[in-house]
Chain A
Amino acid sequence: MEDASAPNAIEVADLVVEFAGKRVLDHLSLDVRTGEILGLVGASGGGKSVLLRTMLGLIPKRQGRIAIFGVDQDKATLQELQTLERRWGVLYQQGALFSSLSVFQNIEFPIREYLRIPQRLMREIATAKLEMVGLKSEDGEKHPSELSGGMTNRVALARALALDPAIVFLDEPTSGLDPIAAGEFGVLIQTLQRTLGLTVFMVTHDIVALRTICDRIAALAEGKIVAIGSMSQVLETEDPWVKSYFRSVRSAPSSAPATP
Chain B
Amino acid sequence: MGLERLVVCTAGAGQLLISGSGAWTADNVARLKAVIDDARPNEAPKLEIDMGEVREFDTFGAWILERLMRGDGRPRQVSLVRLPERFRDLVEDVRQTNRSAPPPRQRIAWPLARLADIGRGVEAAGAEALRMAAMVGALVELFGVALLAPRRFRLTSIVHQLDRVCVRSVPIIVLITLLIGAIIAQQGFFHFRQFGADDYVVDLVGILTLREIGVLIVSIMVAGRSGSSYTAELGSMKMREEIDALRTMGRDPLEVLVLPRIIALVVALPLLALIGAMAALIGGGIVASIYGMEPSLYVARLREAVSISDFEVGMIKAPFMALVIALVACIEGFQVRGSSESLGARTTSSVVKAIFLVIVLDGIFAMFFSSIGM
Contact = CB atoms under 8 A, between A and B. Distances in A.
Q: Do they bind each other?
A: yes
Contacts of A143: 338-339
B60 A194 contact: no
A239 interface: no
B113 to A, nearest CB: 19
Contacts of B339: 99-100, 143-145
Nearest to B100: A137
A99 B56 CA distance: 34
A146 B338 CA distance: 8
A128 B341 CA distance: 27
Contact of B94 (A111, A128, A194): A128
A87 B57 CA distance: 15
B110 to A, nearest CB: 22
Interface string B27-50: 101100100000000000000000
Nearest to A123: B102
A115 interface: yes
Interface string A100-128: 10000000000100111110010111011
B296 interface: no
Nearest to A132: B93
A127 B97 contact: yes
A195 B86 contact: yes
Contact of B30 (A100, A117, A129, A131): A117
Given A99-B338, A99-B340, A131 B98 contact: yes
Interface residues of A, number: 34
A195 B26 contact: no
Nearest to A131: B97
Contacts of A206: none
Interface residues of B, number: 32
A196 B93 CA distance: 13
A102 to B, nearest CB: 10
Interface string B158-189: 00000000000000000000000000000000
Contacts of B25: 164
B247 interface: no
B251 to A, nearest CB: 24
A39 B44 CA distance: 51
B193 interface: no
B230 interface: no
B153 interface: no
A176 to B, nearest CB: 15
A258 interface: no
B334 interface: no
A20 interface: no
B338 A145 contact: yes
B90 A191 contact: yes
Contacts of A155: none
25 contacts: A100-B339, A114-B26, A115-B26, A117-B29, A124-B67, A125-B60, A130-B97, A131-B96, A131-B98, A132-B59, A132-B93, A132-B97, A136-B100, A137-B98, A137-B100, A143-B338, A144-B338, A145-B338, A145-B339, A161-B59, A164-B25, A164-B60, A194-B89, A195-B57, A195-B90
Given A118-B30, A131-B98, 20 more contacts: A1-B56, A100-B341, A111-B26, A114-B26, A115-B26, A118-B33, A123-B102, A127-B102, A128-B63, A131-B97, A132-B93, A137-B98, A143-B339, A144-B338, A144-B339, A145-B337, A146-B338, A163-B26, A191-B89, A195-B89
Interface of B: 25-27, 29-30, 33, 56-60, 62-63, 67, 86-87, 89-90, 93-94, 96-98, 100, 102-103, 337-342
3 closest A-B pairs by beta carbon, nearest first, are A145-B338, A100-B341, A164-B58
